[in-house]
Structure formats: C-alpha cells, structure tokens
Structure 1
Amino acid sequence: MATEADYERLSNWAHMLNPDANIDRRNCQRVVKMEVLSLGIARTGTLSMQEALTILGYPNTYHYSSIFANVRDADMWNTALRAKYQGRGKPFGRQEWDQLLGHCGAITDVPAICFWRELLDAYPDVKVVLVERDEDSWFKSCCALIDGVLNPLGRYVLRYTDPYGFGRIINCGGLWIEGLFGSIDSARAKANARAAYRKHNSEIKATVPHDRLLLYRLGSGWEPLCDFLGKPIPEVPFPNRNDSRTLELAFKHLIARTVRRSLINIAVVFGGGAVAFGAVWKYLAR
C-alpha cells in the first residue's frame, strides 16, 4: 500500500499530472546556453541529477520525465532514435537539437544520453558528468525499468487505445531500449544490459577530455559536482529521487491514468460509431 512518503517521492513525476503543453519544438530555437551533459545511463540517479542541476541554476534540465510535460517531444525523439539506430531518416544536427532542447541548459537520462556523441559535436564547450553506480545494484534496477517499459499490457494494448499520449511515450521507451540494449525482447535486453553499461561508460571516458569530464560516484553529494561546475554548495541536501519504490509507483500511476484515458477513447469511438450507425439506419429506413 502506498504511503504518504511514497506520494511525496512520486511528486517528482508531477509532469504526469499536469496538462500537456502541446508545443511543436520544430518551431523553436535555442534560447539558453547548453552547459552540462549528465551522461549516466538510466537508473544511475538521473532524476536526482536533474533536480541537482536545477537547484544549481541550469534551466529546464531535460530528463525522460520531461516528455510527459510536452508529449510532442516524443515525436522528435522517436524520429532521432529511428535515424540513429535504424537508419531511417536524417540524423539530427545542431539545428534539430536547438529546436528540441533549446530551452534546456543541461540534460540527463534517456533518450538524450543515447545521443551523447551528437550532443558533444553540437555543443563542444559543455561540461560532462558521468554518474557511475555499482554495476550489480544498477543491473537490478535497470531490469525493473526494462520490465516496466516493455510491459505487454502497455506495448500491445494501451499504446493503441491511447495513441496520442501513452503510445508516443512508450514507443520512445521501446526505441531507446532497443538502441542501447539491442532488443525489445525483455530477456534479451537484460542479457545485453551489463555489456551496454560498460561500453557506454568506457566510450565516454575515452572520448571526453579529462578537464571537461567529472566521474561522479552515486551518493557523493554536492562537493565534487559543485567543484567541477564552479558553483557554490547549496544549503539543501543533495536530492535522492526515483528509487525503485518510486519507479514502481510511477509505472502504476502511468498505467492507471492510461487505462482511464483509454476507456474514454474507446467510449468516444464506440459512441460515435453508434451515432453514425443510427443515422445510417434511420436514413435507410425512410
């Protein structure tokens, strides 16, 4: 049973509760400087890092949960993911990244970290933070994430009954999992996850100049991050968000909300169909 503390942690996924902004980012441009790429793979404290970077003054730090605030973002992410991993369409360059992330001073989490090389090319002066976590604890948490994203109810039912909202978002989840872990089959994705984690981290370490890279160990607090970024240490505890319990609650809340929306969509479709059928029947009976 969910406790009051559970719902306080779930408040970090408040985007789920707010109206969709419905912004077409392709009509946008860069309005703030991109300064920090936090490139730790999913389940390395990415939501905590989002909040930490926000506290330090970086505007609109982008995280997967940001898509819930503007579902049309998923359309651009899905286009970028298909171009990168499936060779379908033109890869994103500086123009597209400025459109999609032009309001952001920093990024963290998937799907953005899938494009770390592209973002480094687009923003060569950024500072890079690589958050690392004990591999065994990361793997356990990542498996729960994979199971949540690839849940059969979501993939085979709800993405079709709520195509505008959940469908777009879960398609993005499937694309980044297939891109990073090589499969949208849950068992295969898990089997590939450890190697993908090591490869992701080692390639970043081999690519980013040492003076622009902070290797941050999860749980290290404010000091190493603030020293690296040249920021004063905030007078608040370092955030600790999105633990396994919170992730579980987030998925449950998302599924429950999507089921409600799906029932409304189904009622509208069948209600409209019944009205149309009645009109046709009445016409033919004249």
Structure 2
Amino acid sequence: MEHKPRSSRKVPMQVLSLGLPRTGTASMQSALQTLGYNDTAHGFDMISHPEIGAPWMEAVQAKFLGHGKPYGRAEFDALLGNCAAVTDMPCACFWEELMAAYPDAKIILVERDIEDWFKSFEATAITELFSKVADVIVNYIEPLIGSQIGPMNRELVYGFFNAKTPDEVRQNARGVYQEHYRRIREVAPKERLLEYRLSEGWGPLCSFLEKEVPKGLPFPRINETAALKVKIREVQREKFKAASVALGRYLVPVAAVGIAMWYWYRK
C-alpha cells in the first residue's frame, strides 16, 4: 500500500510523551493540544489514517525482526507528518529512535501504579487485540481490504514485550514496563525530562513546557479503557463494512459468471 504522509513537516518536533499506553496517553494528547501542540500523535490516529499502518509495520519489522532499514529522522518525519508532539503506542515503543531523531524535543514520562496499569493494559491491549473477533479481522478481513493495522499492532506488542503468545505478553508485561521507565530515566538528559503524574494537574506540565496555565480549564481526564473499547468497536464495524464492500466486488462478477455458465449448459 502506498503511504501518503498526513502533511510535510513544517514545525519542529517539540514534545515526546513516552509513557506507555494506559498511563493517561489520551489525556496527555488532549492536554498537549490545549497547550498549542495541535497535531499530537496518538495510537487512535490509525482510525482516521489507516494508511499509516503500512509504514509502522515497516518500522516494527525493522526494529524487532531485523527486516529492512531501521527508521530514522527522515522516515519519522514522513510518518509523523506535521506532529509537534507524540504520545501512546506505537511512538512510545520507539523512544530511543525518536529521542535520537529529535534531540531537541522535551521528554515527558507519565507513570502510573504498575498494578493499575497492568489491569487496564490487560483488559484492552491484550484481551481485545487477541480476541476471537480480532483473529477474524487480522487473518481474513484486513488482508482482503489491504489493511495492516491489526497485524502491525500484534507484531509491535509481541516485539516490545519479548513474547510469542498473549500469555507471554501477560507474563512479561510488568518487567518490560519497569525496564521502559528505567531506561528512559537513565538515557534522557535531565534538563529535558519531566517525570509526571496526571494528578499533578497543569502546574508542573505548563512550567516544564513554558506555557501559561489554561484559565478555567480543568486538566483533561479521559477514561482510556472505556475510550479505547469504543474506538475498537468503531474500527471493527468499519472493517466489517469495508470487507462487505470488497466481497461484493468479487461476488458480483462470480455470480454473473455462474449465471452465464448455467444458461450455457441449459442450451
């Protein structure tokens, strides 16, 4: 599938919010947009931009399977378009590459109690991504409609969590979570790093980003588990609808040929 970037880069990448999914990434996206980072990347982008599934698959296979060229500044510029900030997966899983590609960007590390995080992550990213319905979509519908979003997300989760099965993802999740935060704290320049929890509100975030605190606006708190499940159902409906259209293109000619052959044999 040909990938067309959402836009060419016209502004510098300014913020890398590298907390793992289910740590408030949707809330962070909303907060960053409120502060003026109008194009902030999030995993939900794939719903409105399914074409980015293919280049993300290239990046995932290069990083975790050693297939192809690893992504660098040029590739991320094309993939992320005009984003001034990033959050959520897949970006958080490419934290090293993004920090190298955008060395002047500020880094935000949002952390959550590990057991609360695991409960939310297990109920969404694991359970939903590897469900029976997801199997049908990944194995049959997405190849039919030319989408790589489902397969890419599965390869990303397996690669990032050093797993080959959903159960191994569960077993490895807490250790990988802790290592992710440890490594970023170890590598990120202290003057460009903000360790942050959503409960702290606007103050520390605005001070770090040198922005004024929005007047009269509470800090956004989005229920990510609920929001993700809504998005997943939306994606599933759209994919089944697209599959019906694609099947129609094949079935109509096949039916026409069948009718023609029936008439021919009747002669």
TM-score by length of 2: 0.91
Pick one of 76, 91, 105 that aligns with 1:97.
Answer: 76
Deviation by residue 1:156-205 (Cα, 9 ceiling, x = unmatched): 44552244769422112102211211225221111110001001000000
Q: Is the 8 A contact 2:22 2:225 kept in 1?
A: no
Moved more, 127-136 or 247-256: 247-256
The question of 1:225 aligning with 2:216 is answered: no
| 1:106 equivalent among 85, 91, 97 | 85
Matched position secondary structure for 2:41: coil
Taking only the aligned residue pairs, the percentage that are identical comes to 37
* Corresponding residue for residue 42 of structure 1: 21
Unaligned 5+ runs, structure 2:
none
2:184 pairs with 1:214 = no
Q: Answer whether contact 2:142 2:150 (CA < 8 A) is retained.
A: no
Following superposition, the deviation at residue 139 of structure 1 comes to: 0.4
Q: Of residues 33, 49, 52 in structure 1, which corresponds to 2:12? A: 33
Whole-Å separation in 2 of the counterparts to 1:267 and 1:218: 48
Residue of structure 1 in register with 2:248 after alignment: 267
Do residues 252 (structure 1) and 257 (structure 2) align? no
After superposition, residues 29-178 of structure 1 pair within 5 angstroms as 29-145=8-124, 146-157=126-137, 159-163=139-143, 167-178=147-158
Inter-partner Cα distance in structure 2 for 1:134 and 1:27: 35
Q: What amino acid maps onto 1:276 in structure 2?
A: V
Give the CA deviation at 1:29. 3.6
Q: Which moved more, 1:255-264 or 1:181-190?
A: 255-264
The answer to whether the 8 Å contact 2:31/2:220 transfers is: yes
Aligned match of 1:7? none
Rate the CA distance shift 1:27–1:284 in 2: closer, same or farther, 3 A: farther
Secondary structure, counterpart of 2:207 in structure 1: helix
Change (3 A) 1:170 1:213: same
Amino acid at match of 2:78: Q
Decide which moves more: 54-63 or 259-268.
Answer: 259-268
Q: Comparing 261-270 with 207-216, which one deviates more in the overlay? A: 261-270
Moved more, 256-265 or 197-206: 256-265
Equivalent residue, structure 2, for 1:19: none
Query: Which AA in structure 2 matches 1:52?
Result: A
Contact in 2 for aligned 1:161/1:266 (Cα 8 Å): no
C-alpha displacement of 1:219? 2.1
**Over aligned residues, Cα RMSD in angstroms?**
2.3
Q: Distance in 1 between matches of 2:138 and 2:251?
A: 17
Counterpart in 1 of 2:257? 276
Distance 1:256 1:229 in 2: 39
Distance in 1 of aligned mates of 2:78 and 2:113:
35
Residues 164, 208 of structure 1: CA spacing in aligned structure 2 closer, same or farther, 3 A cutoff?
Answer: farther
- The amino acid across from 1:108 in the alignment is T
CA separation of 1:245 and 1:94: change in aligned 2, threshold 3 A: closer
Moved more, 228-237 or 170-179: 170-179
